[in-house]
Homo-oligomer: A and B are copies of this chain.
Amino acid sequence: MPQKSTDPLIIFMPSGRRGRVPAGTKVLDAARDLGVSIESICGGRLTCNKCRVQVEEGSFQKHGIVSRTESLSPATEEELAFLAKLDSLDCRLSCNATVQDDVLIFVPEESRGQKQIVRKAAGERVIDVKPAVRQVYIEVEEAQLGEHRGDWGRVQAALSEQWQIEARRIDLPALQRLQEALRKGNWAVTVTLWEDEVIDVKAGYQEGIYGLAVDIGSTTVAGYLCDLRTGQVLATESIMNPQVTYGEDLMSRVSYAMSHHDGLEKMNKAIIDALNRLAAGAARAAGLQARDIHELVVVGNTTMVHIFLGIDPIELGGAPFALANRDAMDIKARELGLRLHRGANVHVMPAEAGHVGADNVGVLLAEEPYRQKEIVLTVDVGTNAEIVLGNSEWMYSASSPTGPALEGAQITFGMRAAPGAIERVRIDPETREPRFRVIGDERWSDEWKLGPDAPPEAQPRHLAAGICGSGIVEVVTELFLAGIIRPDGRFEPNFRGPRAQWDGRTGAYVLATAQQSATGKPIVVTQDDVRNVQLAKAALYAGARLLMKRANIDVVDRVVLAGAFGSYIDPQHAMVLGLIPDCDLERVYAVGNAAGDGARIALLNREKRREAQEIAHWVRYIETAVDADFQEAFVAAIHLPHATDPFPHLEGILPEVREVQRRPRNEKRRKKLETGD
């Protein structure tokens, strides 16, 4: 080979990163030096098959295209055998091939070190996979007489030499099993680290690190089991929060803790048991075991997080709503009674304030309104609604006590979103006859054929079992638009017909007939139901208006609806009902369980944890509970359709509804509503 005046040039695709490295440099090392991430666990021992690359061109600059073997060192027999086994003879292993001459390397998707996951929300989101947990394979110097570093000292040395990892601590359970693993693996082990702490040492090469992101809601606990190497979601599990036994909403749980000496202990045990079940279930679904879960990231409202950590939530029950701790915490899972990997860490995301918890920080992390130029209103509806308004310049947050009505609780025939729950409703303003759709059946109720004579395929797959959150929003909106209820929420006294039920002066609306109902009894929307929805929507709306007033703006550029409720409700109905301020309907997005997405992002990317902490400190929290503006806005917003600043109280019934329908935007909405969704 002729003497060259400069080192070979290596270019990596698709990143395009390039640089000169001395001849003989391993492709994997060249990639590291140039900031190109190539997956590797075994560190060049022909075990992990992660670092395959393709040679696109060799010696492209100086000698024209030459054969691959000249630009890279020839493959050894061992490497060839390995590649043959993997059916990858068109590849080279970057840990084995050395650069000999100019070369263009293509790093295939599956070999790129930082895998990415994609979320669809307002836009696509791409998350680098850089978890706090990592796994590496090392070969450790054998213990010998006259050398006294100890096995742990030798493991530290190997981590430092072979991976440039300075491990500072080893978890006791890992230390207890270290010596056996080293000898079983003949001094080759797979080390699992959490940050700079070794949490596991397994004999030989053993791949697999998993994490669980959990959103502890007052009603529902959702978990996402992820492969921490690829970022892939392997299983999604959701269970009821068993604490509902001790109180439907947050305040009643706080009361329970205050009024029972073992209240906190019971609720803590309930959620820990539930998480153990959730973890075991998710692991089973992915063909794993709970002990394979190496980290748990938790979001939740502040009360849920306090109880989860065994902290009395009493201070959250009254002003000034002082948190025990606002910042993120890392605690060993075993300290909390969680049965995951024995060295697993629990990362609890930070909170913003007494009533805006880690779940909202999760939403922000997932949606990143703090990176937008537009003004975004983010609303996460649960038993409390968390509302955040702002952009990259400023950001306000608030919490509104919406109560559980919007989740289907405190509604006479309310139920959670499950098969048979009425989730869509339309009422004909002329005939005042409804049609609806239940979860689990695509057809509207007016297409149903009922009775023994109906052909099976025409019969509904589920009869109506109750009304879920999105159904209750739609039915109240439709009742209003059909003139059956007045803007003050009371049933129109003249409302009569087969759908009308009157108990003295208190009206009700028959949404599903006895025949349509799974119980054989009609499903009815009562005056109390309407009242509860009014209170909920007023709280939510008032919170949003309060933040807008603080920010001195009248209109928002975008509305993001987070949470399960936000995914199911129809934005148009929500706006007519006055749940959210006016906004171009095209710019209202439902993003699902964004809190859970945020937890997942923090699980997969440790740098995002720092970002979450910064955001939690940066957002300015506005306390609604004692704010006069909020109280005023709340009272004004009880009416339908929502009053706008300066909250003129509306009177009369039908003329107003008509006016609503006449307003151009509502006209458009109306049409959309009538033509279906």
Instruction: Please tell me if A200 contacts chain B, counting CB pairs below 8 Å.
Output: no
Q: Which single member of B150, B309, B321 contacts A326 (CB below 8 Å)?
A: B150
Residues of B within 8 A of A146 (CB): 320, 621, 623
A327 to B168, CA, bound (A): 11
Instruction: Please tell me if A296 contacts chain B, counting CB pairs below 8 Å.
Output: no
Residues of B within 8 A of A170 (CB): 325
The stretch from A56-64, A172-180, A360-368, A546-554 touching chain B is A172-180
The smallest beta-carbon distance between A150 and chain B, in angstroms, is 4
- Is the CB–CB distance between B151 and A322 below 8 Å? yes
With contacts A311-B175, A315-B179, A335-B172 known, is A148 near B621, CB below 8 A?
yes
Residues of B within 8 A of A180 (CB): 312
A314 closest partner in B (C-beta): B179
Using C-beta atoms within 8 Å of the partner chain, give the interface range for chain A: 35 or more
With contacts A152-B325, A153-B325, A326-B150 known, is A145 near B320, CB below 8 A?
yes
Q: Which single member of B176, B179, B319 contacts A322 (CB below 8 Å)?
A: B179
A179 to B311, CA, bound (A): 9
- Is the CB–CB distance between B352 and A148 below 8 Å? yes
A571-588 contacts to B, CB under 8 A, are none
The smallest beta-carbon distance between A296 and chain B, in angstroms, is 15
Instruction: Please tell me if A626 contacts chain B, counting CB pairs below 8 Å.
Output: yes
Residues of B within 8 A of A323 (CB): 148, 150-151
Interface residues as binary, A619-636 with B (CB distance below 8 Å gives 1, 0 otherwise): 001010010000000000
Residues of B within 8 A of A178 (CB): 324-325
Instruction: Please tell me if A354 contacts chain B, counting CB pairs below 8 Å.
Output: yes
Residues of B within 8 A of A144 (CB): 320
With contacts A145-B319, A315-B179 known, is A152 near B326, CB below 8 A?
yes
- Is the CB–CB distance between B145 and A326 below 8 Å? no
Q: Which of A153, A311, A312, A325 has the most CB of B within 10 A?
A: A325
A176 to B308, CA, bound (A): 11
**Chain A's interface: helix, strand, loop or mixed, by majority?**
loop
Instruction: Please tell me if A310 contacts chain B, counting CB pairs below 8 Å.
Output: yes
Instruction: Please tell me if A671 contacts chain B, counting CB pairs below 8 Å.
Output: no
Instruction: Please tell me if A87 contacts chain B, counting CB pairs below 8 Å.
Output: no
Residues of B within 8 A of A320 (CB): 143-147
- Is the CB–CB distance between A175 and B309 below 8 Å? yes
Residues of B within 8 A of A315 (CB): 143, 151, 179
- Is the CB–CB distance between B309 and A153 below 8 Å? no
The smallest beta-carbon distance between A614 and chain B, in angstroms, is 14
Interface residues as binary, A177-193 with B (CB distance below 8 Å gives 1, 0 otherwise): 01110000000000000
Q: Which single member of B147, B176, B327, B626 contacts A145 (CB below 8 Å)?
A: B626
The smallest beta-carbon distance between A358 and chain B, in angstroms, is 12
A50 to B377, CA, bound (A): 56
- Is the CB–CB distance between B145 and A321 below 8 Å? yes
Instruction: Please tell me if A221 contacts chain B, counting CB pairs below 8 Å.
Output: no
A488 to B479, CA, bound (A): 112
Interface residues as binary, A337-373 with B (CB distance below 8 Å gives 1, 0 otherwise): 0000000000000011110000000000000000000
Residues of B within 8 A of A353 (CB): 148
A321 closest partner in B (C-beta): B145
Starting from the known contacts A143-B322, A175-B325, 19 additional A-B residue pairs (CB-CB under 8 Å) come to A145-B319, A146-B320, A148-B354, A149-B326, A150-B322, A150-B323, A150-B324, A151-B322, A152-B324, A152-B327, A153-B326, A170-B325, A172-B310, A175-B311, A176-B312, A178-B324, A178-B325, A179-B314, A179-B322
Question: 5 A-B residue contacts at CB 8 Å?
Answer: A147-B320, A172-B309, A172-B331, A175-B325, A179-B315
6 A-B pairs closest in CB distance: A150-B326, A143-B322, A150-B323, A148-B353, A152-B325, A145-B320
